[in-house]
Structure 1
């Protein structure tokens, strides 16, 4: 293997971690939650109203997002506010949304796989 390529190639371990990380994002409800949290921190009840889901469903999704280090929480008195973990997650969300808004260069076909 070329010495120029080898340092840039993902290790098997990192590739596995990345696959696990992105698999968490395979749920559209999680993307909707991230989109709301990209705007501002929210309590579960406000987040549930924003994404039109039950509080228990939002809590379940937040647990998965927290485990994957996509969201964080902070307590303020009796309230718990959730937000995006850091600027990397905000950038990931924005880049994915922007990418999907771009027109396709040409229709996808069998050769694009």
Structure 2
């Protein structure tokens, strides 16, 4: 499987999306427009995390992280589950993961002529485009 196999193209959007779909997309993009929430989402692209790990990773106060996670959950971008005394969060689906990844990669292109995702990995496999 190639890295581009799961990427939608403009040609796949053959008709104008319904108003309800546009509103839902606006909500999703609005949730990602906050730097703390985007950092949380990047961490969750890497896999499930509990609130303590997310707090450490994004460098925000625990109450703020919990509040942001609540908003992301209400927007349908993350889901939480109990694991003993911990609350563990994960992305809801692969579409969300790809959206976050592409948003960060697009931003990398805007700030660097050689974005990190174009550099060869340490294991010698070819870099993604």
Normalising by structure 1, we get a TM-score of 0.78
Larger CA Rg, structure 1 vs 2: 1
- Structure 1 residues 21 and 79: CA distance shift in structure 2, 3 A: same
Give the aligned partner of residue 26 of structure 2.
19
The Cα offsets for residues 82-103 of structure 1, whole Å up to 9 and x where unpaired, read as 1111111111111111222225
- Equivalent in the alignment of 1:28: 35
Consecutive unaligned residues of structure 1, counting only runs of 5 or more, are 1-6, 105-113
CA, structure 1 residues 77+21, in 2 after alignment: closer, same or farther (shift >3 Å)?
same
Gaps in structure 2 of 5+ consecutive residues = 1-13, 112-129
Match of 1:53 in 2: 60
The number of aligned residues is 98
Distance 2:77 2:20 in 1: 20
1:1-113 paired onto structure 2 within 5 Å: 8-102=15-109
2-structure distance, mates of 1:78, 1:33: 21
Structure 1, residues 58-85: CA drift from partner, whole Å, max 9, x if none?
Answer: 0000001001111111212222111111
CA RMSD of aligned residues (A): 1.7
After TM superposition, the runs of 4+ consecutive aligned structure 1 residues lying more than 4 A away are: none
Q: What TM-score does the superposition give when structure 2 sets the normalisation length?
A: 0.69
